[in-house]
Amino acid sequence: MKLTATVANKLRDTGKRIYEVNIADLKGAKYNPLSKDLRPTPKLEHSLAVVGQQSPILVDSRLNIIDGHRRVAASKNIGKTHVECVIAFGDRDTLFTEVNTTNQKIDNRGWLFIGRNGGVLPATQAKLYAELKDAIGNLGIDYLIECKRGLDVVREAKKAQDLMQHKSLGDIILSMVANRLSSKVGAIIRNNNMTIKQKSSALRKLFAVYA
């Protein structure tokens, strides 16, 4: 199907080209939390089989996938050997953070995984990650990832620290994760019927049990 003259006259050539690239030459982002479990839906595979690839995969100049991991996996699953790609020029990590359009939101656990593997984090997550690293180090972060926890634990732990004062942030975080205390800590912090003094006392007693 061709463009009508009316539509064609409204388009401007930006100079960007779509390239056909062998799937075997594409490289997934190692710090993409979604690339660990790329299971395209039958709907996506059916769509690619029936109407073909309608939007190109975004890659950098070294063929690292910036956006389109699932479409690449789905194309491979239905027997395709090549996909259409557009090259984005710029820093790979920054491109991934800024333009990734996956329909699965990268949650707190995902950002923790990205940070640990050298990816660029948005400002808010970068600040939390820096605080977390200062508190428990890389080994501690690896432990949180192993326990399937994310950056959200930092926020809750900081609130608990404000109430307990003398306990270190690192100790609070590791104890919360190791003993699965997040729900109990959160319930105490958000209890509007307790005074600050009562919350502080309740938290101290809770952590003392697992000391």
**pLDDT tens per residue, range 21-48:** 999 999 876 655 555 555 657 888 988 9
Query: Is residue 3 assigned to a domain?
Result: no
The chain-wide mean pLDDT, for the chain, equals: 83
Query: Does 1 map to a domain?
Result: no
Please report, as a single letter, which amino acid is at residue 182: S
Q: What is the pTM of this model?
A: 0.54
Q: How many residues does the chain have?
A: 211
57 φ/ψ angles, rounded to the nearest 5 degrees? -80, 135
CA distance 79 to 122: 36
Domain boundary among 104, 133, 166: 104
| Residue pLDDT, tens place only, 49-89 | 998 888 888 888 888 888 888 889 899 999 999 999 988 88
Is residue 181 over pLDDT 80?
Answer: yes
- Is pLDDT above 60 for 104? no
Name residue, tokens 């608990």.
Answer: 160
Sign of CA dihedral 173, 177, 179, 180: positive
Do 113 and 75 share a structural domain? no
Q: Is the same domain home to 97 and 117?
A: no
Q: Which residue has the tokens 């779509």?
A: 18
Q: Could you say which of 79, 104, 129 is where a domain stops?
A: 104
Q: Are residues 167 and 183 in the same domain?
A: yes
Residue 132 or residue 69, greater confidence? 132
Residue 2 belongs to some domain of the structure: no
Are 89 and 164 contained in the same domain? no
- 151 with 88, same domain? no
| Residue that wins the pLDDT comparison between 30 and 161 | 161
How far is residue 18's CA from residue 55's CA, in Å, rounded to a whole number?
10
In a domain, 116, yes or no: yes
Based on the structure, what is the number of domains in the chain? 2
| Residues 3-31, mean pLDDT to the nearest whole number | 78
Position 102 pLDDT exceeds 60: no
| Residue span of the structural domain in which 141 resides | 109-209
Q: Are residues 123 and 175 in the same domain?
A: yes
Task: Indicate whether 62 and 88 sit together in one domain.
Answer: yes
pLDDT the model gives residue 103? 44
Domain shared by 14 and 37, yes or no? yes
Show which of 76, 104, 132 is a domain's final residue. 104
CA distance 78 to 41: 12
Does one domain contain both 71 and 33?
Answer: yes
In a domain, 5, yes or no: no
Residue 117 corresponds to which tokens in the numbers above? 């593997």
What letter represents residue 50's amino acid?
Answer: V
In 3D space, the residue among 166, 168, 208, 167 whose CA is nearest the CA of residue 184 turns out to be 208
| Residue 89 within a domain | yes
pLDDT for 54 equals 85
